[in-house]
Amino acid sequence: MSDFIVSEVSACPELEALLTASGLPVGDVNEPGRRFFRVSASGGGLIGVIGAEAAGTAVLLRSLAVVPDLRGKGWGRRILAWALDRMADEGFAEAYALTVTIEPMLTRWGWSRIARDDAPAAIRESRQFAGLCPCSAALMRRPLPSRPTGGR
């Protein structure tokens, strides 16, 4: 994945603008515990972003957005794959996502839909789950591989 660069960033106007343009919530991006990663081309241009919130041994992946001109070119999958690897390296056991738009893609990529009542308490207590995402959002789960060097 050497054709793009990932850097952890704080919430900023660029991040919020892309999330808003993608129809994703921004009401909590400045709150503690939210991590965002900016994905850029080697020349510096923005490709997309993804966010993560720790929830015990699980992680809630959120705010996956690709700039409009680059959509449909596989960037969403590549950004998500990077995030899953990163979270596994950090020692998380499973990943969750809430979505109203990309459930079919996540299913193709090995995620399973689960009942919202089956979410771990730490996921249910997140602002994304509790109110920012609509109740109609699908809750998706994917186990992460164990990494011997992982450790949070």
| Mean per-residue pLDDT pooled into runs of 10, the chain (152 residues) | 83 87 85 92 90 93 93 94 96 93 91 94 84 81 80 53
Cα–Cα distance, 53 to 61 (Å, whole number): 7
Domain range 4-143, its CATH number among 3.20.20.10, 3.30.1330.60, 3.30.950.10, 3.40.630.30: 3.40.630.30
Q: Which residue has the tokens 């459930």?
A: 103
pLDDT at position 4 is 93
pLDDT at position 18 is 92
pLDDT at position 149 is 56
9-13 long-range Cβ contacts below 8 angstroms, 24+ apart: 9/36, 9/37, 9/38, 9/49, 10/36, 11/36
Reported pTM: 0.88
pLDDT at position 135 is 76
pLDDT at position 151 is 54
pLDDT at position 75 is 95
pLDDT at position 125 is 87
Tally: H helices and E strands in the chain: 5, 7
pLDDT at position 1 is 44
